[in-house]
Structure 1
Amino acid sequence: MRNILLLLSFFAAVQTGAAQKSTLSPFLRVGKSTENIAILTEYIKNQLKASDFEIVGEYAPESNNNLHVVCFTRNDLQELCLESKDRGALASVLKLGLVKKGEQTTISMLNPDYMFCAYLSNYETDKSAYDKITADVASALKNFGNEFTAFGGAVKTVALKKYHYKIMMPYFKDPVELNEFESFEDGVAKIRKNLNAEKGNTKLIYEQVFTNEKVAVFGIGLLDQESGEKHFLPIIGEDHIAAMPYEIILQDKEVTMLHGKYRFALYWPELTMGTFMKIMSTPGDVEDFMEALTK
């Protein structure tokens, strides 16, 4: 119990420090391990399950065995995110990244607070509930490290709520419209069919279907050798893999995705314009992959 309280206090201190500076970072470094990455992944999943989180998917980005992402959620998180009607369900899945370099594997996580602030209209009104979820994740991971060091850049919270990379670049509210179906059910069926066929070298990593709300989120691995993750992740930085996989969201009859020029910049905010230019084709490539899944 003392260890848990210490960890939660430390995690709270990290978040308090960030709040005092009015900035948030996209990722938190949990710790490092020399354990086999496959065994380590199983340990982590079991600890998350013990804290009532559900593992909804996992995969190796780039099909690289030295990289692994675990995707998880919980009922209270889903309910909160669904209250944010403008694609809030995109924030209902949390992600851990494992990156093996040499004999060590670094465990990191997408900073929930960063994503919640960027995506959710009820971020401030329900912040105590979101903070509890984040603290529960930290508690579940206590056996794997207690660093929780922020990394990946820093964005002022006031800017994060209306984030865009540069002038004339898209915002969260400027999604890419991929297709419109006859009904919600038709949309789910079509997307599932194409994902089952791995159309465009895509792979279904997770899906969340909220039938009553007519909302569905699909996390999709982009495994094309020339234009997918194997192309862009080594350029922009594999340490940020907890931002993957990329998602599409179906709301009623319309399926959309966050614009690549928004989403890549959001989770790689330190990218220079020079590096961004090296993946200039990637936002369009991702749009092509995702659009094909809706046809």
Structure 2
Amino acid sequence: MKFTKMALAFLLAFSTLQAEGTKLDISAPAPEVLSTYYAAKAQSTEKVESKLKANGFSILATTTPVKGSTVITVTNDELKATNTWLATLNVLVNEKEVRIQNPSYFGAAYLQDKYTYGQFSGTLKSFQKALGDLYTVEDEFKLLKLPHYQFMMGMAHVEDTIEVGEGEDLETKLKENKYVAYTLKLPNGSTLVGHNLRSRTNKFLLKIDAAHNAHILPYRSMIKEGKAVMLDPKYYLAVSLPLLSMTEFMKIASAPGNIEKDIKRTYK
């Protein structure tokens, strides 16, 4: 009986370690494959927010794209200095874990040849101090291929943005708008906007059992020189969900169009 209990305890401990993935070592050389996200042990939203603030992050918004998934959007000086889509990162809090967008992964995807592995070590160290040990997850993609990522031949790249608004009064339209989660002025004068999509639009996450990656939202647009643009959802959803199969992509075929409509509605 004792042996059985000890063996069971060992197996449970082993399976837990396996599920956690590989622990992040910031000083290690660049890996061949990057984890899209890092996961930390489960904590309350209030505790996570407090620790993030204490470690140099500014909290821009706290949202709930789908039930049971709270998303905290953060920024810091290192992220803002990129003047890109990487100026903000999202942190997911649910009952099982805390999950963050990996700045190394999205840095490689967004910055392309301007990216050097390790340049966001400061941000990752701050996340470690705030959340504890960080572990890789099942979502991943090859580092060398991320700067040229596309879901399949003929589909969108990172530079394939969609215009969603035009005019000198774009930022005025964002004030007191329930579909705007946050705005962030960047050093180069552009403005990054986080959008609350309609609840029925957010349900695409449930169709592909991806509530554990709900921190791909809020969706963002960028205002610069009188124009607002967004990343093509056929790019952003795919790079954010690298395990997405063609069958799953077809299940959410209406999502890219619905997201675009939601964001354009904000600027009308």
Within 5 Å, which residues of 2 pair with 1:181-192?
181=167, 183=168, 186-190=169-173, 192=174
Could you tell me how far apart the structure 1 residues matched to 2:199 and 2:71 are? Answer: 18
Give the aligned residue type for 2:62.
E
What's the CA shift for 1:294? 1.6
Letter of the 1:23 counterpart: V
Alignment-derived partner of residue 206 in structure 1: 182
Q: Identify the match of residue 233 of structure 1 among 197, 205, 208.
A: 205
Deviations along 1:55-87, whole A, 9 cap, x unmatched?
Answer: 11111113x2x11011111123212x12xxxxx
CA contact (8 A) 2:163 2:228 kept: yes
CA distance in 2, matches of 1:197, 1:174: 27
Q: Which has the larger radius of gyration?
A: 2
1:12 is aligned to 25
Match of 2:160 in 1: 174
Provide the C-alpha distance between the structure 1 equivalents of 2:145 and 2:190, rounded to a whole number of angstroms: 28
Aligned pairs for 1:92-241 within 5 A: 92-100=87-95, 105-121=96-112, 122-124=114-116, 127-142=117-132, 146=133, 148-181=134-167, 183=168, 186-190=169-173, 192-193=174-175, 196-198=176-178, 203-210=179-186, 213-225=188-200, 228-229=201-202, 231-236=203-208, 237-241=210-214
CA RMSD in angstroms comes to 1.8
Scaled by the length of structure 2, the TM-score of the pair is: 0.85
Match of 1:50? 54
Q: Using the alignment, how far apart are the partners of 1:129 and 1:162 within structure 2?
A: 19
TM-score, with length taken from structure 1: 0.77
Q: 2:37 aligns with which of 27, 39, 43?
A: 27
Q: CA deviation at 1:11?
A: 2.6
Which aligned runs of 4 or more in structure 1 are off by greater than 6 angstroms?
none
- Supply the distance in 1 between the matched residues of 2:197 and 2:126 (Cα, whole angstroms): 30
Higher helix share: 1
Count of aligned pairs between the two proteins: 244
AA in 2 matched with 1:141: L
Aligned residues with identical type, % of pairs: 24
Letter in 1 for 2:115: Y
Q: Deviations over 1:193-221 (max 9, x none)?
A: 4xx343xxxx32221023x6330111112
Unpaired segments of 5 or more residues in structure 1?
1-9, 34-39, 83-87
Superimposed CA distance per residue, residues 146-198 of structure 1 (whole angstroms, 9 cap, x where no aligned partner): 2x2222422111211111000010000101111221x3xx22112x14xx343
Q: Is contact 1:152–1:240 with CA below 8 Å preserved after alignment?
A: no
Could you tell me which amino acid in structure 2 is paired with residue 98 of structure 1? Answer: V
Which stretch shifts more, 115-124 or 257-266?
A: 115-124
Alpha-carbon separation, structure 2, partners of 1:271 and 1:284: 18
Amino acid at match of 1:106: E
> In 2, Cα distance between the equivalents of 1:110 and 1:213?
23
